[in-house]
Amino acid sequence: MRKTIQLSKWLLAAVLLMLTASGCGPRSQKMAALLSRKEKAIQVIDKIKSEKQLGLVEYEIEKIVKAKEEGRKVFILKSKKEILCSCKAYLKAGIDLSGFNPMTDMAIDPDETMITLTLPAPTLLSLNIPIDEVEILYEKTKYSNGFTLTDLNEILRQGEAQINASVPDLGILEDAKQNARLFFEPLFKRLGFTSVQVEFKENQKV
């Protein structure tokens, strides 16, 4: 009898300890996250910013974005969801003229018939992915609630990142260089120059 009572007391104590420990789990994790989390720097963005960019070429591209997610197996059931989206993007490349100083980057020969422009290297100036041109081509869910708008936005964000990463391979920057020559030559020939040379500075790595 005494042994039974003592055993049950130990059991009760063990149960209380387990419950306390399990209750501490998520709370202690949150505290650790709070203590170790570095404060993000506050980003300041000007509402209106002066720019000096010359857009020279626009690419209209289409990308198919596909994603699959498989959940945990519960007994014999395994949740699965798949989605295929198409999105259109408009990329504009050109020259950032804030890095162009006409006094030093424009050279006119003594006869004033030839002008040489040394322009900054072309860069991607804008990427526009209108939401109206995003379409879901295929969506399938099995034992699952389907894709939420949060999931959809994350998928599209990754698609945008892939488009950004592919810019050097698209050829848009080379086309911008060609168009820069086509843009400035007629302009300066109209101003009286017989020969217009357009050169580019090397890309500066950030």
Q: Which of residues 112-151 bind another protein (CB under 8 A)?
A: 112, 115, 125-132, 134, 136, 145, 148-151
Count the residues of the shown chain that bind another protein, applying the rule CB under 8 A.
90
Closest approach, Cβ 53 to another protein, in A, equals: 4
Is 201 in contact with 117 (CB distance < 8 Å)? no
What 3-state class would DSSP assign to 86? Answer: strand
Pairing between strand 195-200 and 114-119? parallel
- Locate 149 and state its tokens: 């708008």
- Contact residue for another protein among 33, 36, 55, 118 (CB under 8 A): 55
The contacts of residue 193 (CB under 8 Å, 6+ apart) are 108, 112, 113, 114, 115
Closest approach, Cβ 76 to another protein, in A, equals: 17
**φ/ψ (deg, to 5) at 158:** -65, -35
- Contact residue for another protein among 119, 120, 122, 152 (CB under 8 A): 152
| Interface with another protein in residues 166-185 (CB under 8 A) | 166, 170, 175, 179, 182-183
Burial of 20 (0-12, 13-18, 19+ CB in 10 A): exposed
Closest approach, Cβ 37 to another protein, in A, equals: 19
| Interface with another protein in residues 86-115 (CB under 8 A) | 88, 90, 92, 94, 97, 102-103, 106, 108, 112, 115
